[in-house]
Chains A and B, each alone.
Chain A
């Protein structure tokens, strides 16, 4: 999902750059205030870990393989603010040392993978763990969070590309969301398996070990970073999710792309290019999203039952 140079126009590059700089600056301040000095090197090591972990291949099918992206995993392991710093560091080093992801798109990449993916992953994870207790619950929660963060980040990415006029929303959104709904399944499974492996070998490294209750600073991290992410969503996605977007999409629709692109995903493609048809398509998209999320949530719970064999009975809460 690394956007290269040349895919974003000036206003998108500027807006994403400003949002990421604000988010990263705030996360750095929070980390500096909250993190004990002993854990400062862990940020750099965690970034190196994430980079190395992305090299481990997970065979998918027919010789292809995927790898971990890790936003939700790092957020669950280190907390939201530290995760923002770690993922942003990985993206900065990938950009300048390995030419992976564009320099002008660095803001957008940090926003999508560093802010949206980690934060949404953390929010979903902590909400779902409240619903599902124990190690099994945390595994299920992380699997679900991994999927949500991947899909959400890809949707924001599609919004930025559409905002720049590079790829029309009607083409980019179904393509990105569709592909990443599949990739997200792998991401969720891998994140949960890695978390489980750590919980089995070194449970003392997990944040649940020494701080079961949420720290007071977490609320502030939540609110400020959440506001920034929401602002980005409102900026990049809302204009397209609303009934009738801009001229680009109307051109694409007139050329007939609307049918081809949406037909694969939605049960009821746009009947004609009038307002009512599109509004119902928007509702249908939202409904499809909700149903998809519920299905994946069920899959995540089933998956956790499959991997964590013994039902945790009290003692596992501390594991």
Chain B
């Protein structure tokens, strides 16, 4: 799974032990600033870029995965940036937009790399985010790797038993895998509820 999800935090770094609330506040300020600052403020972008590099050095974060993720900007960025090139703003607007989303993306990646998810959830809880939402986020984070592994296993099992005769057949079997995944998730939810009750959840 780590091949698909390279965002497991770098446990060794010094930044890892800093309070999560401070890191989240700084990251949010950087992201909102970078996304919303006027295009003319080139100094802001330079400062943010330097800061991010400093964080990477200080946190001993391997640059490889971060750069790879940055280069694989979502197809949305490429598509919209292309469309934006048609925009009256011209190529300058295109570059600024790509720069903004790249810097924000790097900030989020570095935050995820240096902050344990549980601590982020604790910050959310303290910030009065509704408990039901925090519980749902926590459960999703706990089980998404489990279900992702299960999906992989089911896909492998299917691939070893059925040959994809046609695209239509492939779609039907893939849909069956997804349907089965929902069935398993529902069953697991029942077990989780029992386990939560056994540990005093109300």
Contacts and interface: CB of A to CB of B under 8 A. Distances in A.
Interface string B27-66: 0100110111000000000000000000000000000000
Contact of A104 (B31, B111, B136): B31
B87 interface: yes
B200 interface: no
Nearest to B93: A166
B189 A51 contact: no
A95 B120 CA distance: 13
Contacts of A248: 88
A13 B31 CA distance: 12
B86 interface: yes
A193 to B, nearest CB: 3
B100 A194 contact: no
Interface in A1-46: 1-10, 13, 24-25, 28, 31-32, 37-46
Contact of B180 (A25, A59, A201): A201
A113 interface: no
Given A31-B132, A102-B101, A251-B88, A171 B35 contact: no
Interface in A165-209: 166-168, 171-172, 175, 189-190, 193-198, 201-202, 205
A132 interface: no
Contact of A58 (B28, B69, B84, B170): B170
B193 A46 contact: no
Contacts of B26: none
Interface string B97-135: 111110111001101100001001000000000101101
Nearest to A306: B168
B151 A55 contact: yes
A24 B150 contact: no
A101 to B, nearest CB: 8
B77 interface: yes
A194 B181 CA distance: 10
A263 to B, nearest CB: 14
Given A52-B148, A59-B167, A99-B108, A5 B140 contact: no
Given A45-B185, A45-B186, A99-B105, A51 B130 contact: no
B146 A4 contact: no
A93 B117 CA distance: 10
Contact of A202 (B138, B139, B183): B183
B21 interface: no
Interface string B170-202: 111011111111110110111011001000000
Contact of B177 (A24, A28, A56, A175): A56
B143 to A, nearest CB: 4
Contacts of B135: 40, 43-44
Contacts of B143: 44-45, 48
Interface string A242-259: 000000100110010100
Nearest to B144: A48
Contacts, number: 245
- Chain A contact patch, size range: 35 or more
Contacts of A86: 136
A56 B151 contact: yes
B171 A58 contact: yes
A5 B87 contact: no
B104 A48 contact: no
A100 B104 contact: no
A85 interface: yes
Contacts of A1: 76
A68 B189 contact: no
Given A43-B139, A167-B84, 19 more contacts: A4-B105, A24-B133, A41-B139, A45-B140, A52-B151, A56-B181, A58-B174, A85-B136, A99-B69, A103-B31, A103-B108, A104-B32, A175-B83, A190-B178, A193-B175, A197-B178, A198-B179, A202-B186, A248-B88
Interface of A: 1-10, 13, 24-25, 28, 31-32, 37-49, 51-53, 55-59, 68, 77, 85-86, 88-90, 92-93, 95-100, 102-105, 161, 166-168, 171-172, 175, 189-190, 193-198, 201-202, 205, 248, 251-252, 255, 257
24 contacts: A2-B74, A3-B76, A6-B101, A8-B35, A10-B36, A13-B35, A43-B132, A44-B142, A45-B147, A45-B186, A46-B185, A48-B143, A48-B147, A51-B147, A56-B155, A56-B181, A99-B109, A102-B104, A102-B105, A103-B35, A190-B178, A193-B179, A196-B179, A198-B183
